[in-house]
C-alpha cells in the first residue's frame, strides 16, 4: 500500500485533517474537522496557502478565519462580542462566593450608575480609554454627553464615589481581558482622580455634653456616650450584647457586626475582633444601661462567617434595644445602623451644633484619647486597626495641631524628674 503524501502544512490527526502554519513566530495548528480524504487534502492545502499568504501580507484575521479556535487565547485574540452588562454579570457571579451580602450590595449600587451612564448594551470590546475618561467626567460633574447634546443631572458625585465606581469597572474590564473577552484593558493606564485628605472633625467636650443632653431617651444618650468613650463602629454598637461585656474586668469583646443590609457578620477586619478596655465613664454608662436591658429576653441570630457557606447561631441579649423606647410594637430587639445615624442627626439639630457625620463619634474617641496622652498603638488596638499606621495616617495633622497640649502634659508629668540645673555664678 502506497504511503499517503500530504501537502506542506497539512497533516492527519485522529482520522481528521488539520493544518499548521507559523503565526507570530509560533507554530499554530488548527483542526478542520473533515475526514482525511484525497479531496479534502487538496482543499486543506488551498486553505493553508491562503492563510500563509494573508499572514505575509498582514491581512490575516485569526478570529475571523478560526472563530472557535483555542489558540485565540494563546495569541491574545479571544475577544468575544459581549456587552458590558453581560460581562459585569459574569464577573459578579464569580465574585459572589468571596463577598458578603453587604459588599455585593455596594458593588451593585456603584455599578448601577456606571452601566446607566455607559449603556448596558455597549459592546465591551469597543470601549476605549477616551470613553472611560468621558464616563468619569460625566459621573463627577453630573453631565452626560449624548448624541443629541448634553444632558444635565441634578448633581455630580464625589471624587471618592467616582473613584470607587471606576475601580469596580476596572475590575470588570480586567476580568474581560484576562479571560479573552477583550483584546486589551482600556482602564490599564487610567489613574484615580486626586482627592483631598479628609481630616477628622471631632466634637468638643461642650458639644458632646449638649448632644447627650438633648437625646430623646436615656438609652440614646447612653448609646452615643458609649460610642464616644470606646470608638466602636456603629455596626458593632448595634450588635453589642451583654454576653460580650465584663463590667468587673471592665472589658468588651467585639466579635460581631451588623451590616447595612441587616446581616450579622464578624467585625470588618480580622483586627476588628478585639477586646476593648473600658474607661470609667464607659463602665458607668453600661451600668446605667443594664437597668433597662440586661434582663431582656435573648434573641437568636444567625452570624454569617467569612468562610463561604458557614453560619453560626448565637443567642444574644442586646445592650441597646429599641423596644425600650418604642411607641409601637413593631420594633425589633436591636437597632439598625441607619436608625442610630438618624438619632445622631436629630441630636445635633436639637443642640444647634454644626452638622457632622455620625462616624465622627469614632474620630472623637481617637482625638480625645490622643489629647489625653494615650499611646497610638493602644488606640489602634482599641479601634480595631491592624497597626498604629492608620492612627498616624488619619490623625497625623490633628496630632500636630495639639503639640502645645502635648508639651504641657510632658512638663506636668516629666518636670519633676528633670535634674536641677546649677545656678550661674555671679561676681
The answer to whether residue 233 is catalytic is: yes
What are the pLDDT digits (tens) for 37-86?
999 999 999 999 999 999 999 888 887 788 767 787 677 665 557 889 99
Confidence at residue 292, expressed as pLDDT on a 0 to 100 scale: 96
Q: 10 Å Cβ neighbour count for 423?
A: 6
Residue 296 has pLDDT above 90, yes or no: yes
pLDDT value at residue 403 = 59
Give pLDDT tens digits for 106-122.
888 889 888 888 888 88
Residue 10: pLDDT band by 50, 70, 90 thresholds? Answer: very high
**Burial of residue 165 (number of CB atoms within 10 Å: 0-12, 13-18, 19+):** buried
Average pLDDT value for residue range 139-163: 67
Q: pLDDT tens, 214-241?
A: 998 999 999 999 999 999 999 999 999 9
> Of residues 88, 334, 335, 395, which has the active-site annotation?
395
Least confident span in 164-168, 394-398, 403-407: 403-407
395 given a catalytic annotation: yes
- C-alpha to C-alpha distance for 132 and 165, rounded to whole angstroms: 11
| Contact partners, residue 96, CB within 8 Å, separation at least 6 | 104
134, 174, 268, 294: the catalytic one is 268
62, 64, 77, 82, 136 from 67: Cα distances, Å: 7, 5, 10, 14, 34
Q: Which of 177, 362, 363, 365 is catalytic?
A: 362
Average pLDDT of span 310-321: 95
Catalytic residue flag (residue 362): yes
Q: Which domains does the chain have, with CATH numbers?
A: 10-74 (no CATH), 84-178 (1.10.150), 205-411 (1.10.443.10)
Cα 301 to chain centroid, rounded: 25
Reported as a single tens digit per residue, the pLDDT across 84-114 is 999 999 998 888 877 778 888 888 888 988 8
Catalytic residue of the set 48, 136, 177, 385: 385
Helix (H, G, I), strand (E, B) or coil at 425: coil
For the cut 70, the answer to whether the pLDDT of residue 146 exceeds it is no
Lowest mean pLDDT among 150-159, 206-215, 228-237, 328-337: 150-159
How sure is the predictor about 192, in pLDDT bands with cuts at 50, 70 and 90? confident
Per-residue pLDDT tens over the stretch 331-385: 899 999 999 999 999 999 999 999 999 999 999 999 888 888 788 899 999 999 8
Hey, what's the cell of 132? 472611560
Query: Per mean pLDDT, which range of 238-247, 316-325, 392-401 is the poorest?
Result: 392-401
* pLDDT at residue 145, as a whole number: 47
> Tell me, what DSSP letter sits at residue 83?
B
Q: Which of 233, 234, 256, 356 is catalytic?
A: 233
Amino acid at each position: 500500500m502506497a504511503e499517503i503524501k500530504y501537502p506542506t502544512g497539512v497533516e492527519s490527526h485522529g482520522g481528521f485533517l488539520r493544518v499548521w502554519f507559523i503565526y507570530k513566530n509560533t507554530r499554530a495548528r488548527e483542526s478542520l474537522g473533515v475526514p482525511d480524504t484525497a479531496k479534502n487534502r487538496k482543499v486543506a492545502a488551498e486553505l493553508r496557502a491562503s492563510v500563509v499568504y494573508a499572514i505575509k501580507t498582514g491581512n490575516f484575521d485569526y478570529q475571523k478565519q478560526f472563530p472557535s479556535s483555542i489558540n485565540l487565547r494563546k495569541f491574545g485574540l479571544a475577544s468575544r462580542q459581549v456587552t458590558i452588562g453581560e460581562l459585569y454579570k459574569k464577573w459578579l457571579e464569580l465574585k459572589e462566593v468571596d463577598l458578603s451580602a453587604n459588599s455585593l450590595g455596594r458593588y451593585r449600587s456603584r455599578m448601577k450608575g456606571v452601566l446607566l451612564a455607559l449603556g448596558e448594551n455597549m459592546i465591551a470590546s469597543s470601549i476605549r480609554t477616551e470613553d472611560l475618561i468621558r464616563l468619569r467626567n460625566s459621573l463627577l460633574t453630573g453631565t452626560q454627553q449624548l448624541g443629541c447634546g448634553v444632558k444635565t443631572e441634578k448633581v455630580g458625585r464625589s471624587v471618592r464615589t467616582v473613584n470607587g465606581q471606576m475601580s469596580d469597572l476596572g475590575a470588570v474590564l480586567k476580568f474581560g481581558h484576562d479571560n479573552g473577552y477583550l483584546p486589551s484593558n482600556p482602564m490599564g493606564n487610567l489613574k484615580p482622580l486626586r482627592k483631598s485628605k479628609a481630616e477628622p472633625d471631632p466634637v468638643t467636650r461642650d458639644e458632646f455634653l449638649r448632644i447627650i443632653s438633648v437625646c430623646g431617651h436615656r438609652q440614646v444618650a447612653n448609646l452615643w456616650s458609649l460610642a464616644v468613650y470606646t470608638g466602636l463602629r456603629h455596626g458593632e454598637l448595634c450588635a453589642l450584647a451583654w454576653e460580650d461585656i465584663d463590667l468587673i474586668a471592665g472589658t468588651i469583646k467585639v466579635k460581631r457586626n451588623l451590616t447595612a443590609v441587616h446581616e450579622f457578620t464578624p467585625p470588618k477586619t480580622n483586627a476588628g475582633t478585639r477586646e476593648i478596655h473600658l474607661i470609667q465613664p464607659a463602665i458607668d454608662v453600661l451600668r446605667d444601661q443594664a437597668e433597662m436591658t440586661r434582663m431582656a429576653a435573648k434573641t437568636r441570630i444567625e452570624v454569617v462567617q467569612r468562610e463561604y457557606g458557614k453560619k453560626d447561631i448565637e443567642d444574644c441579649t442586646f445592650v441597646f434595644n429599641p423596644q425600650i423606647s418604642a411607641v409601637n410594637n413593631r420594633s425589633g430587639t436591636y437597632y439598625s445602623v441607619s436608625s442610630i445615624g438618624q438619632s445622631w442627626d436629630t441630636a445635633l439639630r436639637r443642640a444647634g451644633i454644626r452638622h457632622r457625620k455620625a462616624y465622627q463619634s469614632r474620630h472623637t474617641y481617637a482625638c480625645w484619647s490622643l489629647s489625653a496622652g494615650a499611646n497610638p498603638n493602644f488606640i489602634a488596638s482599641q479601634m480595631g486597626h491592624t497597626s498604629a499606621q492608620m492612627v498616624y495616617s488619619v490623625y497625623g495633622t490633628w496630632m500636630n495641631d495639639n503639640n502645645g497640649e502635648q508639651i504641657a502634659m510632658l512638663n506636668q508629668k516629666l518636670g519633676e524628674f528633670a535634674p536641677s540645673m546649677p545656678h550661674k555664678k555671679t561676681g
